[in-house]
């Protein structure tokens, strides 16, 4: 592998405790590892009860939790060299999206679910690039949920922990996210993608055979400040679209139940912007179904074309892309070695996900780094995504 790309480590061994976490561990400490995620297709569909196709990667967050006898919660970010202290009775969101909010938000949810929690020390480290759209926040939340579940012997299922992690993000961090990121982190399986029905929460693991292709992530190295406020606005616009259709048709619960003719008739005349948002989601839910058939047939080219369509929709209809993401997709669009590319995740920065022929990765990376630096005056980071397994205790 070239030095230009940062291999997201090749094979999945038994995960070990990172060296830098070891000084925070004693015999009472629980250590949990929880991964970040990619999403092949199905963007902004989770909170509309559609389908998604994510996979856990082998970049992760690790949390080491040591119980205390008092009610103090003492948190360390090993990577930032920062500490934060509070008590179990003073869990108040900082509204800063700070690293400690993800830990405290989950603790708060455990309390709200009825568990009694004493104080604890927690040390956190992660090798998921922050702000790259690889769900470092969901990884931390899932790691903490899993650790508290073990410590308190709470007996929660993985799905219950996923829901706690999502609620922590919704209520404590303030992002009205769907369930995809937490689900992928908790349920990830090596070399498999998860086809998740976000309505029923039924899921299937599909082996990911990308004959001759690698999943390459080009990281814009930007996260525009609009990201979380605009995310919540999009969610609201989808709900507005649903309520406009509900006024005319019964049995409509979400955009999952809506088709384009309903949007044309009941939403377009009322609100053009809401119409565009809803149209993207309705098309994306359908596109994912067709893309899954492409994967079954091992037709990577057909799958890749759908990724480009998704990007067009996210950029022009859903309007969550940005100049850096559009530049990266435009650059690879006519390259025969790239089957497909699109922005990934919530938008306004982060990564594009690309299916690139094995033998073309180095040359493309070399050229794109130079072109991105020239056009955007920023450094492009590059990762080769490897599909790893989900949240687990590792000591
Ligand atoms: C973010 C959210 F957290 C997810 O729930 C999902 O909506 C995604 O954006 C867009 O598909 O990662």
Query: If you average pLDDT over residues 121-135, what whole number do you get?
Result: 95
Query: Does the CB atom of residue 327 touch ligand 1 within 6 A?
Result: no
**How many domains are there within the chain?**
2
Residue 222 structure tokens:
């930007």
Same domain assignment for residues 189 and 221 = no
CA–CA distance, 264 with 373 (Å, rounded to integer): 42
Domain identity same for 119 and 182: yes
Q: How far is the CA of 35 from the centre of ligand 1 (A)?
A: 15
Q: What angle do CA 135, 138, 139 make, to 5 degrees?
A: 85
Q: What is the mean pLDDT of residues 340-354?
A: 97
Is the Cβ atom of 181 under 6 angstroms away from ligand 1? yes
Burial letters for 296-324: b for 16+ Cβ neighbours within 10 Å, e otherwise? eeeebebbbebbbbbbbbbbebbbbbbeb
> Residues of 22-49 as b/e, b for ≥16 C-beta within 10 angstroms?
eebbeeebbbbbbbbbbbbbbbbbbbbb
For residue 109, pLDDT over 80 is answered with yes
| Gap from CA of 58 to ligand 1 centroid (Å) | 19
Atom of ligand 1 at shortest range from CA of 138? 3
Q: Which atom of ligand 1 is nearest to the CA of 231?
A: 9
Q: List pLDDT tens digits, range 64-75.
A: 999 999 999 999
Specify the CATH number for the domain of residue 152: 3.30.230.10
Angle at alpha carbon of residue 42, lines to 156 and 37, rounded to 5°: 50
Strand 120-126, strand 51-52: pairing: unpaired
Spatial distance between the Cα atoms of 28 and 350, rounded to a whole number of angstroms: 37
Sign of CA dihedral 21, 177, 9, 321: negative
Q: Does residue 180 share a domain with residue 62?
A: yes
| Residues spanned by the domain of 289 | 213-384
The pLDDT of residue 2 is: 41
Ligand 1 neighbourhood includes 177 CB (under 6 angstroms): yes
Reported confidence tier of residue 317, pLDDT bands at 50, 70, 90: very high
Q: Residue 15 has what pLDDT?
A: 87
pLDDT in tens, 287-308: 999 999 999 999 999 999 999 9
Q: Which pLDDT value is given to residue 11?
A: 41
pLDDT > 90 fraction of the chain, expressed in percent and rounded: 92
Give the nearest ligand 1 atom to 175 CA: 3
Rounded CA-CA distance 322/314 in Å is 10
Question: What's this model's pTM, rounded to 2 decimal places?
Answer: 0.95
Q: Is the CB of 241 under 6 A from ligand 1?
A: no
Residues 195-211 have a mean pLDDT of 95
The ligand 1 atom nearest the CA atom of 46: 7
Measure the CA angle with vertex 30, ends 26 and 33; round to 5°: 125
Q: How far is CA 130 from CA 1, 226, 279, in A?
A: 23, 16, 31
Euclidean distance between CA atoms 380 and 384, whole angstroms: 13
Answer yes or no: do 228 and 349 share one domain.
yes
Residues 293 and 218 in one domain: yes
Mean pLDDT of the chain: 95
In this structure, are 25 and 53 located in the same domain? yes
> What residue has token string 């999945």?
12
pLDDT at 189 over 70: yes
Residue 219 in contact with ligand 1 by CB distance below 6 A = no
Residue 275 CA, ligand 1 centroid: distance in Å: 20
């Amino acid at each position: 592998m070239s030095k230009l790309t940062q291999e997201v480590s090749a094979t999945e061994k038994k995960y070990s405790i990172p060296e830098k976490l070891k000084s925070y561990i004693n015999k009472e400490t629980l250590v949990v590892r929880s991964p970040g995620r990619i999403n092949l297709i199905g963007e902004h569909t989770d909170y509309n009860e559609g389908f998604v196709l994510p996979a856990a990667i082998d970049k992760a967050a690790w949390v080491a939790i040591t119980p205390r006898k008092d009610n103090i919660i003492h948190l360390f970010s090993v990577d930032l060299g920062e500490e934060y202290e509070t008590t179990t009775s003073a869990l108040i969101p900082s509204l800063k999206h700070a690293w400690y909010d993800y830990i405290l938000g989950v603790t708060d949810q455990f309390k709200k679910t009825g568990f009694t929690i004493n104080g604890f020390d927690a040390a956190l480290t992660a090798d998921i690039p922050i702000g790259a759209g690889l769900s470092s926040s969901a990884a931390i939340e899932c790691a903490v949920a899993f650790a508290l579940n073990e410590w308190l012997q709470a007996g929660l299922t993985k799905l219950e922990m996923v829901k706690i992690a999502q609620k922590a993000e919704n209520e404590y961090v303030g992002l009205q996210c769907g369930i995809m990121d937490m689900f992928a982190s908790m349920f990830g399986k090596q070399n498999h993608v998860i086809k998740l029905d976000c309505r029923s929460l039924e899921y299937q693991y599909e082996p990911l055979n990308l004959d001759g292709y690698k999943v390459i992530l080009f990281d814009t190295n930007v996260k525009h400040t609009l990201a979380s406020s605009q995310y919540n606005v999009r969610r609201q616009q989808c709900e507005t679209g649903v309520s406009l259709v509900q006024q005319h048709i019964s049995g409509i619960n979400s955009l999952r139940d809506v088709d384009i003719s309903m949007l044309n008739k009941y939403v377009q005349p009322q609100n053009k912007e809401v119409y565009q948002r809803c149209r993207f989601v309705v098309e994306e839910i359908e596109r994912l179904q067709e893309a899954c058939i492409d994967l079954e047939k091992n037709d990577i080219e057909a799958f890749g074309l759908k990724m480009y369509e998704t990007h067009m929709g996210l950029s022009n209809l859903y309007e969550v892309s940005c100049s850096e993401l559009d530049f990266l997709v435009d650059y690879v669009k006519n390259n025969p070695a790239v089957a497909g590319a699109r922005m990934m995740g919530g938008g306004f920065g982060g990564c594009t996900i690309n299916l690139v022929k094995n033998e073309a990765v180095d040359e493309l990376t070399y050229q794109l780094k130079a072109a991105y630096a020239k056009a955007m005056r920023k450094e492009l980071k590059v990762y080769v995504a490897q599909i790893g397994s989900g949240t687990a205790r590792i000591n």
